[in-house]
Amino acid sequence: MTLCCLTSMLLSLLFLSLTHPLINYTLPSSSLTPNLLFFSKSTVSSMAESGFEGFEKRLELHFTGNEPIIHMGLRQIDLNSLEQILRTVHCSIVSSVGNHFFDAYVLSESSLFIYPTKIIIKTCGTTQLLKSIFPFLHQARSLGLTLSSCRYTRGNFIFPKSQPFPHSSFKEELLYLEESLPENLHYRKASVIPSNLPSHSWHVFTAADDAALLHRNPEFLYTVEICMTELDRILARKFYFRSGDGKTGNSIGKEMTNLTGIGDINPSGLICEYAFFPCGYSMNGIDGDRYSTIHVTPEDGFSYASFECVGSVYDDPDDLVRMLKKVVQIFRPAAMSMATTGASHEVWALVAGALDPLGLKCRSCAVDEFPSAGSVVFQTFTARRK
């Protein structure tokens, strides 16, 4: 595809997204990754010596700005600029989808979501996620936007000694965050929320300015982040790439979505998926202004899967329970953790009760409070066979 054609296509898609809010668009993988049929995680990101690091690092940035540009805001960052930022992190875009509300990018290592005034990026492997802060702030300033809050979260790395700077320790990450964030974000807190499982704890850092602290969670949304380890071996085999027949990572990914039942987790959502060679799977789901995402590292010995979604305090909690039941049935992990940020007591209490009949027993539950982010509830579960 020529640069002229690609530019024309992107302008057309932008016009459609502005004038037809219900239209979803997908950038073809040929426009994002020319001359590549599929990505191998082992070649895109340096592997840990013992295996691929499944546990993701997650960064969420919120901005404020002048009303006239809020409609598109950060979504005006062009594709070349995004790719440059991601090269700093050591990952790249492999597929993309969007609607009137936000853009969702499947990365060679996990996902990126861009709203008019919010960025969420999570990356696995040996990526250097926090190095994206400075370039994202630079792009935001050029659009007249100012950072108002930040949240960084992650679980325990399987291969912590393989993590590069600035992720070799939580202390190092905190020092980097302190140096990277503007001074107006002076309400800051860091904590490691423990559990009864040595392999699962939750690292959290939040920072907010006066306005973010005063208007905490105005949309009444909460975030659920699930980390699953020791996946069922038979189910994990479904995420191995069956090469041949000229199929691409996109087409194999769609087959995996249908084969595993991932498409049934939220039937009303639009899914953008990708399969990696020789194994691995990522998907982003978009449903109105909400996203969901799944990432799978199926290798035996360090198998891992994650699921993340957004809910509202006004939603029926049973809807979340139904989704989480399907997720557990797809992977059948031996161990699982769930971090819920900004939800009511009813939500996480219902989850613990709902997973018990599926053979997952709640082993620990801890709560901590953070500026602007609100309460973070961290629960761990193990299969009864453990």
Q: Which residues are catalytic?
A: 110, 124, 282, 295
CB contact at 8 A, 193 and 278 = no
Nearest to 346 by CA among 367, 317, 322: 317
Check whether 308 is labelled as a binding-site residue: no
The amino acid that residue 121 corresponds to is I
Distance (Å, whole) CA 342 – CA 145: 25
Does residue 276 have a known ligand-binding role?
yes
136 annotated as a binding-site residue: no
Radius of gyration of the chain (CA): 20
Cβ atoms 167, 109 nearer than 8 A: no
Q: Compute how many other C-beta atoms are within 10 angstroms of the C-beta atom of residue 252.
A: 25
How do 221-229 and 304-312 pair as beta strands?
antiparallel
**Is 178 labelled a binding residue?**
no
Alpha-carbon distance of 144 to 119, in angstroms, equals: 15
Output the CA torsion 364→292→182→76 (10° steps).
Answer: 180
Q: Which residues are annotated as a binding site for substrate?
A: 52, 109, 276, 299
Pick out the residues of the known binding site.
52, 109, 276, 299
